Amino acid sequence: MTPRTSKNGRSRPQVVGVITSRAEFEFAIRMRQPPDLFELRLDRLVPVIDQLERKISRLRTPLIITARHPAEGGANKLSTPERRNLLSRFLSRAHDIDIELRSADALDSLL
């Protein structure tokens, strides 16, 4: 991905919007000027994951997907296999994947 440039011609950091709920997802779809990327916190979106999957193509920016380990602030106390399944389900739509170092070995099939 090419960094955006500011008015003075310098590159600027990219802005990431984090989506952790259905309401935030619906808001993200409607944004006229979305951030450079959206991060989908799949561990927090488990209750609405089927709805999210049906509507995900409506997001107009590249996606970072993550399913946090419970010890790293992950929601819903997901096991490693559950997290792997969530990430696998959305991997084809992801620009990037965010995995904690503690989970790198267990989730290496996704990298």
Q: Which CATH class name applies to 16-101? A: alpha beta
How many CA within 13 A on the CB side of residue 21?
Answer: 3
Strands 16-19 and 63-66, sheet pairing: unpaired
pLDDT at 55 over 80: yes
Predicted TM-score (pTM) of this structure = 0.85
**Beta bridge partners of residue 41, listed in sequence order:** 66
Q: Which pLDDT band holds residue 108 (cuts at 50, 70, 90)?
A: confident
pLDDT per residue as tens digits for the range 5-41: 656 667 889 999 999 999 999 999 999 999 999 999 9
Q: Which runs of consecutive H residues, i.e. helices, occur in 1-111?
A: 22-30, 49-55, 80-90
- Break the chain into its structural domains and give their ranges: 16-101
pLDDT per residue as tens digits for the range 62-93: 999 999 999 999 999 999 999 999 999 999 99
Q: Which runs of consecutive H residues, i.e. helices, occur in 11-97?
A: 22-30, 49-55, 80-90
